[in-house]
Structure 1
């Protein structure tokens, strides 16, 4: 195999090509498929046995996944139904309020004239409202993913998406509390921080994006070099602070620290640390110790994740409704908040009740 790869690279260099990662990967791919084709001819008996085993494994994985899904759904169906209802209520609020916000924005030319920095991007109060709408939309999507993964027994995925929901909830809370509802400075800083994200994405590549460079220069003139430090957009939340900010500080500031232990726990499901890696081996199940697919999620953990999900969706929904109602002055948020909170409490009660029943089994 190594000889084939080196031969491909040598041949390409002889034709004037320079060595690169792309060249190495192309040589590796060509050598792999050539070797695999030869193996099929030379050891056809082994290939057929392996293919047969893979087909059996595929059917076994399918049956196991269906069995776990049925087990989880049978146990948690009432709670899942209430959470689905809560997400439907939140989604309906999003669409109803979104229609109001868009009508408000396009009816006022002065709003449409507000721009972000020196660009053609939406700025000012319009940007702030669109940010909260987009964040609430993302919250609904993440919560639906958590529900789907929990229902199918993918606990790592469930926890990792809860981590994303926690982060979104914290950022949304920070944008709500950072300034008076009619102010837009922090919302614009947050939106403009996409400059930092884009530059990280392009790290190591030559950057010839004129618009990105112009936006970076404009942000530097307006907010200074500290804006580009970690979470630099959030500096106004910490008066007098120089340099960067940590996510933990923002988390504590907006009052989400009571869920932080779950956030830290979920980190293991995102990163490749030993705590998550070794959990995929269960020596009590020898001779097949590998947990390589769906699994039955412990009752206490599933109930806690679902309960926390309802808390965060509610907080985000209330934050969005409050900000949008004040900025647009177009609707009364009290009724909509009440509808969301009723749906959330119904889901929380159901999961708490089901957790107690499961613990008593």
Structure 2
């Protein structure tokens, strides 16, 4: 069916049946509007069925293009991406060995509560690093940097808890019930519009009672955002930014704010995606082989940071040696990511010079 032929035929039929409307502009406009409104359901159904029938071929074409793109990206970034994957695997294995040694039934643990929390944070960090690697291999630098932001938060939090010890580790774990209470309130406000079922009164009461128990134990401020930092950070400064500052990680704030651009809907993240060179004026609706350096090296750094934090809670010669090996891999990883991005930029500059010379 030719585009809009269904609408044209419908309007022609209406005019044939009522030729007098041609002399009345308002009536003609109303007839056309009414025809469009009545025909939209039928037309959309026709287009939907046609697209569904042919979607297999369409998707196959797009998947082939994506496979070819990702193969080229892998060739270009292979050294850097392989080093990042190596770091992730080594970090995971370090965490697994730490758990086997430290949580052995016969092991004597000085920092059980701290170790338990840092192990969980480290496991999450490894998971997020895998997500970053997947996004980088697919050419999504913005998404990778957004996920690095989470990794940075996890790593910084791990250092904060490790530094302040057992009592803070316990409060961090117990704060889960405050978050559960806050989520329950949000659910209660919106479950009807979402089409979900109401929570059982018994479950709600249990959550409320646990919240009240914690508030009674720690004070009203505990239920506020970052309330688990109570007793460490002063009132009015209980934020992630102040956790960063207390751990001397505030120099990462520049990258953190950069990552925020690709988490939120502001103009900077919309107009200047990481995958586009600033002098290239075009929209980027999908993947790019450019811009991987910042999220790549940042992910390596944060992952090594939290793995080192874990390995030094209960330090042994073997764990300190593993931490040093990770540092050596990290130095090479950062160099590879930066060098590869610079190669792309230099190639682009040469291409622009040749194009300008041809024009002249």
Q: Provide TM-score, normalisation by structure 1.
A: 0.71
Q: Deviations over 1:286-327 (max 9, x none)?
A: 9xx86443x1142xx3112111111111110111111233xx
1:188 and 2:174 are equivalent in the alignment:
no
For residues 26-105 of structure 1, what are the structure 2 equivalents within 5 Å?
A: 39=42, 44=46, 46-47=47-48, 49-51=50-52, 54-55=55-56, 57-103=58-104
* Counterpart residue number, 1:343: 329
Conserved? CA contact 2:293–2:338, under 8 Å: yes
Cα distance between partner residues in 1 of 2:103 and 2:45: 65
Q: 1:53 to 1:271 in 2, by over 3 A?
A: farther
SS at match of 1:237: coil
Cα distance between partner residues in 1 of 2:61 and 2:266: 28
Deviation, structure 1 residue 185: 0.5
* Counterpart residue number, 1:265: 258
**Matched pairs, number:** 293
Q: Structure 1 residue aligned with 2:156, among 170, 176, 182? A: 170
SS at match of 1:271: coil
1:133 and 2:119 are equivalent in the alignment:
yes
Q: 1:88 to 1:237 in 2, by over 3 A?
A: same
SS at match of 2:312: helix
SS at match of 1:230: coil
Deviation, structure 1 residue 153: 1.3
1:225 and 2:211 are equivalent in the alignment:
no
Q: 1:174 to 1:309 in 2, by over 3 A?
A: same
Deviation, structure 1 residue 146: 0.6
SS at match of 1:323: coil
Deviation, structure 1 residue 243: 5.2
Q: Deviations over 1:200-224 (max 9, x none)?
A: 2111426633553443233223211
* Counterpart residue number, 2:19: none
Q: Deviations over 1:66-98 (max 9, x none)?
A: 232122111110111111111111111111111
Cα distance between partner residues in 2 of 1:73 and 1:258: 31
Uncovered stretches (5+) of structure 1, i.e. residues with no partner: 1-34, 112-123
Deviation, structure 1 residue 194: 0.7
* Counterpart residue number, 2:230: 235
Q: 1:285 to 1:77 in 2, by over 3 A?
A: closer
Higher-Rg member (1/2): 2
The CA RMSD measured in Å over matched residues stands at: 3.3
Conserved? CA contact 2:145–2:294, under 8 Å: no
* Counterpart residue number, 1:146: 132
* Counterpart residue number, 2:179: 197
Q: Provide TM-score, normalisation by structure 2.
A: 0.71
* Counterpart residue number, 1:161: 147
Deviation, structure 1 residue 246: 1.7
Conserved? CA contact 2:80–2:337, under 8 Å: yes
Cα distance between partner residues in 2 of 1:244 and 1:229: 12
